[in-house]
Structure formats: structure tokens, C-alpha cells
Amino acid sequence: MNTSVYPQSRHLMGPGPSDVHPRVLAAMANPTVSHLDPEFILMMDNLKDMLRYAFQTENELTIPLSGPASVGMESCFVNLIEPDDKVIVCQNGAFGGRMRENVERIGAKAVMVTDDWGCPVDPQKVSDALSCNPDTKAVAFVHAETSTGVQSDAATICAIARQNNALSIVDCVTSLAGSPVLTDKWEADAIYSGSQKCLSCTPGISPLTLSPRAVDVLRNRKKKGQSWFMDLNLLMDYWGEGSSRSYHHTAPINSLYGLHESLTLLQEEGIENAWQRHSSMHLALRHGIEALDLSFLVAENDRLPQLNTICIPDSVNEADVRSYLLSKYNLEVGAGLGILDGKVWRIGVMGQSAKKENIILFLSGLEDALEKQGLRIKKGESVYAAQRALGS
């Protein structure tokens, strides 16, 4: 006989989702109303303003899409790119490859700029590619590559794109609310993210913002986009201003309650404080990892604070370590993706998970797990190093 599901609570320190704040979970338990209810419409307007704060933008078209971050990614491409357009796609990890897949499925041409996994996108390569392809419609790149934990120079790449009359499409899934995403300062044209990482909401919502220049491209397409559900021209009529809205789809009401609460928490903390908290927790983790004589995949200056790729010693069975942490400590960390499978752990220090207790728990558990693998560990040394970095 089927029964209700009551999963046990985990400490989520993988590449996402992160721990969800109790206030967010409580908000999601509020009564469901209609997607055209006056109270819900008022909340929709609040959500747009709050997302503008998170994205650091004044863009009118700033909305949460119904679906995970992959919907945000695909929406950018199916709305801004048409068949036979040319797009420079930067790939330095798994998610740049997904961008290429989107471009090719539209029937556009992807011009690839590649860098090693663990290295940032090289702006000079982007500039050179644009020089060779002056008819480029857009430059697409990942600001915070979740598969490697590397952060690329979004300000420079967006500027290069604009100087060459190309749009910029930016993946900020792992960076939004965890490290600076400065939409207007960068003059970025299209940025998408996800609700389940540094925003500490549940998965299933994709925040999106488009510049006026991108909206102009959207409104002046040669023909309708290939996706009805992700047609932003239609969604703008639903997410517009005032009480008059055109029905588009039944929005995920309770998930949007959760996003609203997570953005409320972000405003209460202050976005600069949130960036600093993620940076401080990374610093504590770094000191602990180095005390264990382990190393990071990504060079320190290019490292994303909220997603840390730790290189696995040759003698260690990485899957056994993850399994041990989950079974004994209720703590989840991530495995490597693609060419990094079996070579790294991905440690998320995101949102509600970016706190001292989680850092100490992870380091304690890792010491235990590595000792079980036969490594000689000085028990407590990594925890002490982290605590010292935190000033406690």
C-alpha cells in the first residue's frame, strides 16, 4: 500500500539544491489562491521589484519563470536567437555545452570558444572570435560554472559583446545572491538563474532579466519563436503591470510564495552582506581543506566562493566518501561532472547552507571519512583551521 512520503532532513552541501530556509518552507504552506487572484497579482509586482534588487537592475522585464534554471536558459535562446543566426558560445565546463545544444536545436550556428575545465573564459578569445565573425548575434557564457567552480569575468565579456554589437546571454544560476551579479553595471542583455542555489528556495523557479536592448530584439523577431510556453512576448502580458493580466498558464503559486520569502530574507540581510557571508564561509572551508593537505581544482583568484571543487587523492574512493557522509552525517556533497567524474568533489556553500555549522560539520565528517579510507589524518586540525579563519 502506498503511504505518505516523509524524507529525513539532510544537510545539502552539493552543487544544488541548498538547504531551504524554514521561513521559505513555511511560506510555501500558505493557502493556494488563483493565479489571477488580486492578492497574488500584488505579490507578482512585489516579486519583480525584489528580483530587480537581486539582479541589481532596473530592467522592466525581470520576472520569475515557471520551471528550473534550464527553462531560463532555453527561454533566452528561443526568444533572442533565430534560425541561421550566429552565436559565440563559451565553454569551460558542462553548462557551456548545454548552451551550444540550445543554439543548434534552434537551427542557429554555434561558434565555440573553449577553455580548459577549471579555467575562466578567456576574454581575448572572445574578442578574437568576434573579429572573425562580425555578424555574430550574441555571445553566451557561464558566469559561474557549476561543474567546476570557476568564475569568469562577466563585466569584460559583456563589454566586448556590446562593443561588437552583439547581445550577451549570461548564466548566473550559481552566482545570483552568492557573489556580485551586477546586471546594469555590466550592461548585460539577458541573465537567467535558479531558485535553489544561493537564494535558498526550492527548485522549480528561474529568475530572468532582459535589458531594453534585448526586449527590442525580442519584439522585432522575424517570426514567432519555436516555443509557445517560453514566448516572452506572451509572458510579458501575464507579468505586466496593474490588475489587467492576460492568462498564459497556471503559475506555481506556492513555489512563488517561497521565492518571495527567500527574496525577503535577502533584502533583510542586505545583498552585499550575503556576498560577504558566502566569501567568509569559503575562506573558512579553504583553510580547513588546506589543513588536510587537499587542493582545489580552480586557482584562488578565479574561484567561485559558493561552489568548491576539491581534488580527490589517488588512494581515495570518492563515491565511498560521499556515501559515508550521507549515511553517518546526513550530509550531501556532489560528485564531479563530465571529464571531472571521479576526480573532484563539488562542495556547495550556498544560501542557507553557507553557515559556520555546515562548514564545521563537513570538515569533521571529511576527516572521519578520509581516515576510514586509510589516510593519516590529524583529527580536529581542519576544524581548528576553519574556526580560526572565522575568528572563533
Q: Which helix (DSSP H) or strand (DSSP E) does residue 114 occupy? A: strand 109-114
Q: Is residue 14 part of a domain?
A: no
Does 284 lie in the same domain as 255? no
Does 304 lie in the same domain as 248? no
pLDDT digits (tens, 9 = 90+) for 163-178: 999 999 999 999 999 9
pLDDT digits (tens, 9 = 90+) for 116-166: 999 999 999 999 999 999 999 999 999 999 999 999 999 999 999 999 999
- CB-based contact 178:274 (threshold 8 Å): yes
Classified as helix, coil or strand, 331 is strand
Does 317 lie in the same domain as 249? no
Does 234 lie in the same domain as 90? yes
- CB-based contact 200:306 (threshold 8 Å): no
CATH code of the domain covering residue 376: 3.90.1150.10
DSSP string, 339-354: GGTTTEEEEE--GGG-
Does 247 lie in the same domain as 141? yes
Structural domain range at position 258 = 22-267
Q: Is residue 15 part of a domain?
A: no
Q: Is residue 288 part of a domain?
A: yes
Q: Is residue 232 part of a domain?
A: yes
Question: Distance between CA 115 and CA 128 in Å, rounded?
Answer: 14
pLDDT digits (tens, 9 = 90+) for 193-248: 999 999 999 999 999 999 999 999 999 999 898 899 999 999 988 888 655 678 88
Does 278 lie in the same domain as 168? no
Does 156 lie in the same domain as 86? yes
* Domain count for the chain: 2
For residue 8, the 8-state DSSP code is P
CA angle 264-269-273, nearest 5°? 140
CATH code of the domain covering residue 203: 3.40.640.10
pLDDT digits (tens, 9 = 90+) for 344-390: 999 999 999 999 999 999 999 999 999 999 998 889 999 999 999 99
pLDDT band at 35 (very low <50, low <70, confident <90, very high): confident
Orientation of helix 212-219 relative to helix 69-80, angle to 10°: 60
pTM over 0.75: yes
